[in-house]
Each structure stands twice: as structure tokens, then as C-alpha cells.
Amino acid sequence: MSGESTLSPADLARFEQNRLAAKSRIAQARPAVVSNDAAAEPKPTSMQRKRRAIDLTYCEYNLSTMKDTKGGFLYEEQSLPDSKKQKQEERPVVYEPTIDLILENNPQCETCKSIDLDPQYLLHFKVQVCRQCKDKHPEKYSLLTKTECREDYLLTDSELRDDRLLPHWERPNPHKSTYSKMLLYLRSQVEKFAWEKWGGPEALDAEFERRESEKKERKDKKFKLKMNGRR
Amino acid sequence: MSGESTLSPADLARFEQNRLAAKSRIAQARPAVVSNDAAAEPKPTSMQRKRRAIDLTYCEYNLSTMKDTKGGFLYEEQSLPDSKKQKQEERPVVYEPTIDLILENNPQCETCKSIDLDPQYLLHFKVQVCRQCKDKHPEKYSLLTKTECREDYLLTDSELRDDRLLPHWERPNPHKSTYSKMLLYLRSQVEKFAWEKWGGPEALDAEFERRESEKKERKDKKFKLKMNGRR
DNA sequence: GCTATCCGGCACTAC
DNA sequence: GCTCTCCGGGCGTAC
């Protein structure tokens, strides 16, 4: 699975503190604009925010690196003793075709109850979803790179590093397999975390805008100083 | 002991790369001044560098938090099975008075061969040194806080975080015990690492100076711009 | 649209 | 002389 986690319980507590502090700071700076008819019309917003544009880039993984189970057998996450699980993680990823003949006894897709679960999502994100639903609902099940999480949801490196906060799936770097591994996160989990951190999509947007204008501010100031110096 | 480590072998390799890159950058910027008579006269240097002033602040630890073994018994690091070791680490720190009656069979101080080893140094730094030598040679055995390591030896957070690179000893924060733990490092180990990283004391000094003048540069520039703007 | 450093600087945290 | 964040920026890096 992914690397060891680095945050102690004390760290986690601090995170919570920081989150609240951040929230109150934002609230102070500019009260969150909560639209009451949010559910009615999605309000596509400015396309400036990449977060809005849900692309499917990493929604499907590279089939060449996967083993086809020829029938979507489940693998036995639940029943393995820890020692065996460990061993399994060391091997490339093996599917053990164990399935209960009584259909209801098998883990089901959280959306459609199919038992054709995606084993990678189960393994890396602990999410029970079938291959069909995964593709049909990119707004929940598409994957984001670490960089995207940082830029689009304003998450920090240290948040993204902790597997307990936000699980991730490591894949070979698409540019070159020897480069640093690509880290993939599940959109639904990232959004849940981000909404908690920032206080909802609107607050995140506000923070995004705040930083943008701050950036512009800095730039203007620099430019002005330079002009003055030249005079 | 201290928290889990975060660096994979790949990270370590990267560190080596960075170290070499840094060295060559420094070499390019300003060739290291190697004084040939370094051994002859210590050249106390500018007291500006705190590194030079070896203080004893953390050379002795707070006795009130330690158990007195009433005779300096060794504790049995070597002979414990892993499971037991684990258990021991969870408890406050207990000394098991096991000692071989044949003196030569006991671990000895690396400097004076005494067997009255300091158990904390052994446990946290894997260094066999006796209590006397520890106090007599602060240039080797004094302890540095993490902040000091960062400032005086220009080590980074991620280097200091990895226990495999540089072991550390966690102590309650002296300001308030509930604050973040104080992290202590052994001077000899820190220096060894820093010399490897920077290419020796002179190179470290050079880098230190480089940053100082960079800082000054920035300040001057800012000041100048401001003056121009005011005109 | 890949990632992991580093750096400076700052504000703020822990109670 | 305590430590942990975050932030922005810029550049290197991996081959």
C-alpha cells in the first residue's frame, strides 16, 4: 500500500486546530457567501476554477498493468489474517477468486448493489464501488493527482501525506516510470475533506479568490515600485 | 522511541543527489577556502557562528525525570528479543540490572572503556559512552535542539525528521510540557552528517555566509526601492 | 497538466 | 534561545 503515515495523534489534534483557525480566519476576512438555492441551479461558476471541470483523465487506469480476472472475482480483503495480508501487499497484487455463492453475502457496490466491485478502489480507498458506477459517476469516483488536490482544493502537502487523513494510490509516474510515483486520490474523499477543512465549496472558492487577488496585489506592488525606481 | 521514519530508499537516493548538487553549486558560487594550517591554529572565527560556541545547555538532562539506578547498571539492549524490546519502549524507561560479571563482556565506553554507560545515549543515539566522558567532551556529546541543527548546521526539516539519517531523542518541551516535544540530536552525529552534506566545516561556513549576504542583498534592494518610491 | 525538494519569512500554535 | 504549521516562489529533479 502507500508509505507509512507520519502524523501522531497530537499532529491530528493540531490539524483540527489549524482547520478551525483557518476557517475563522476566512470567516473574518470575508464571510462565506452561502447561496440558498444551491440545490436548485448548479451555477456553473467561472471556468477559472479547474475543480469544476471534472475530467476523466485518471478515471480509468492503465489496463496493461492490470491483471484481468475474467469475471470480476472479489479478492478476500475481509477474511485474511494480518500476516497474510502483509504478504499479499508485497506481491504485485493478486486476485484470489473467493466468492460466496449466496449473492447477498458478498460485498456490494455502494450505489447499485452489484458485486462486481473494483478491486483497486476497494484496496486503496476502501470504497465498495463497481466498475460501472465508477465510470458513470466521475464527480464522485474520478481520481485526482496530488498536484491537482493541492491546486484545486488547496490542500497541503502534509495533509496529503497522511494516508489516514486521505488514502491514496501510488502509480508509476506517467512521464517516466523511474520518476517519483504519481499519487492518486479519490474525488469524493478529497471533496469531503476539503469541505470540512474550508467550510464548504463556497468558502473554498472565496479562499481561492482571496489568494488570486493577493497574488495580483503583490504583482502590482512590485511593478509600481519598479516604475518608481525607474523614474 | 521517536516516530516512524518517512524516507524510502528512493528518498535517500534523492538526498544523495541533492547533497552532491548542493556541493557543486557551492563550489561554483565560491570555491571552498581550505586553510592548510587548520590543524595548527583553531582560528576561533567570528563568534557570529553559533555553531562554534559549544554550550552545555542540553549536555545534562533533567535528573528529576530520570530514575537513578544506584550503581549505573546497564540495561540489556543487546540481548532482548524484539517483542520484549517493543514492550520496554512503551514503558517509561526501565533499567533491568543485567550485567556480566566478567567485565570485558559488558559493552564499554567508546572512549575510556568504562562500563558505566549512559543508558539514554545508548538507547536514543546507539552510542556507547559513559557518563563521565559525555560531560567531558561536549564537542562530541552535547545535545542540540532541532532548531539549533537547522540554524547552525543548515539542515532541513525533512533530514531532521528521518530517524535513520539522524537519530533523535524526544523530550517534553521545556517551556511547557504540553507543547510540541523538544527534539534533541547528538552533536557528533549532526556534525558528521553536516560535513557530508556540505563538504566540510569550511564549506558550511561558506554557505552560511552566502545566505547572510543574500539576506543583506534582499534587504538593501527593498530599502533602495522604497527610497526610490518615496522620491 | 508528475513530483519532491529547498528557501525565506511570517504568523501562530501549544497553554 | 521550543516547535509546528502555512505560504509563495523558483528551480532541480528524476532519466
pLDDT in tens, A95-120: 555 788 998 899 999 999 999 999 99
What residues form DSSP beta bridges with B145?
Answer: B184
Instruction: Count CB atoms within 10 A of the CB of residue A197.
Output: 23
A158 touches chain B (CB under 8 A): no
- Is residue A197 a part of any domain in this protein? yes
- A201 and A128 within one domain: no
- A100 and A147 within one domain: no
- B147 and B100 within one domain: no
Angle between helical axes of B201-230 and A201-230 (0-180°, round to 10): 80
Secondary structure of A202-231 in the HEC alphabet? HHHHHHHHHHHHHHHHHHHHHHHHHHHHHC
Which one, of B68, B124, B126, lies nearest residue B95 by Cα?
Answer: B68
The closest nt to A156, taking CA to C1', is D6
**Residue of chain A whose alpha carbon sits nearest to that of B4:** A6
Q: Which residues of A touch B228 (CB under 8 A)?
A: 225, 228-229, 231
- In total, how many domains does chain A have? 2
- B170 and B125 within one domain: no
Angle between helical axes of A187-198 and A201-230 (0-180°, round to 10): 70
CB B109 within 8 A of CB B130: yes
CA of residue B180 to C1' of nucleotide C14, angstroms? 7
CA dihedral B149, B153, B157, B160 (to 10 degrees): -60
- B208 and B155 within one domain: no
Identify which has the larger pLDDT, A138 or B89: A138
- A109 and A183 within one domain: no
A129-167 pLDDT, tens per residue? 999 999 999 999 999 999 999 999 999 998 998 888 899
Say what the pLDDT of residue A52 is. 46
Rounded CA separation A62/A11 (Å): 36
- CA distance, residue B10 to nearest chain A CA (Å): 9
- A151 and A118 within one domain: no
Which one, of A144, A151, A157, A148, lies nearest residue A212 by Cα?
Answer: A151
- CA distance, residue A230 to nearest chain B CA (Å): 8
Which of A140, A163, A189 is at the close of a domain? Answer: A140
- B151 and B132 within one domain: no
B116 residue type, one letter: D
Instruction: Count CB atoms within 10 A of the CB of residue B19.
Output: 16
Are A225 and B224 in contact (CB < 8 Å)?
no
Q: For an interface test with B, which of A4, A181, A183 has the most B Cβ atoms less than 10 Å from its Cβ? A: A4
Which of B113, B139, B165 is at the close of a domain? Answer: B139
- Cell numbers for B151: 540554524
Please, which positions of strand C sit below 7 A from a protein CB? 1-9, 12-15
Identify which has the larger pLDDT, B15 or A197: A197
Are A226 and B225 in contact (CB < 8 Å)?
yes
Which one, of B5, B196, B24, lies nearest residue A5 by Cα?
Answer: B5
CA of residue B126 to C1' of nucleotide D2, angstroms? 25
- Judged by DSSP in three states, B57 sits in coil
- Is residue B13 a part of any domain in this protein? no
B14-50 pLDDT, tens per residue? 444 444 444 343 333 333 333 333 333 333 343 345 5
- Is residue A10 a part of any domain in this protein? no
- A169 and A123 within one domain: no
- Cell numbers for A194: 476539503
B58 touches strand D (CB under 7 A): yes
Say what the pLDDT of residue B43 is. 35
- Is residue B79 a part of any domain in this protein? yes
A188 alpha carbon, distance to own chain's centre? 7
The pairing of strands A169-171 and A182-186 is antiparallel
Q: Which residues of B touch A156 (CB under 8 A)?
A: none
Rounded CA separation A32/B124 (Å): 49
Q: Is residue A125 predicted with pLDDT exceeding 90?
A: yes
Q: Which of residues 209-228 of A touch strand D (CB under 7 A)?
A: 211, 214-215, 218-219
Q: Which residues of A touch B220 (CB under 8 A)?
A: none
- Is residue B55 a part of any domain in this protein? no
- B123 and B88 within one domain: yes
- Is residue B14 a part of any domain in this protein? no
- Cell numbers for A143: 481520481
B143-160 pLDDT, tens per residue? 999 999 999 999 999 899
CA of residue B224 to C1' of nucleotide C8, angstroms? 20
Q: For an interface test with A, which of B1, B2, B4, B221 has the most A Cβ atoms less than 10 Å from its Cβ? A: B4
- B208 and B183 within one domain: no
B98-156 pLDDT, tens per residue? 788 998 899 999 999 999 999 999 999 999 999 999 999 999 999 999 999 999 999 99
A10 residue type, one letter: A
Poorest-pLDDT segment among A18-22, A106-110, A113-117, A178-182: A18-22
CB A204 within 8 A of CB A194: yes
- Judged by DSSP in three states, B164 sits in coil
Q: Which residues of B touch A8 (CB under 8 A)?
A: 3
- Is residue A124 a part of any domain in this protein? yes
List the CATH number of the domain containing A204: 3.90.530.10
B3 touches strand D (CB under 7 A): no
A231 touches chain B (CB under 8 A): yes
Say what the pLDDT of residue B218 is. 76
Which of A140, A160, A191 is at the close of a domain? Answer: A140
- Is residue B52 a part of any domain in this protein? no
Determine the structural domain holding residue A150 and report its residue range. Answer: 142-208
- A159 and A132 within one domain: no
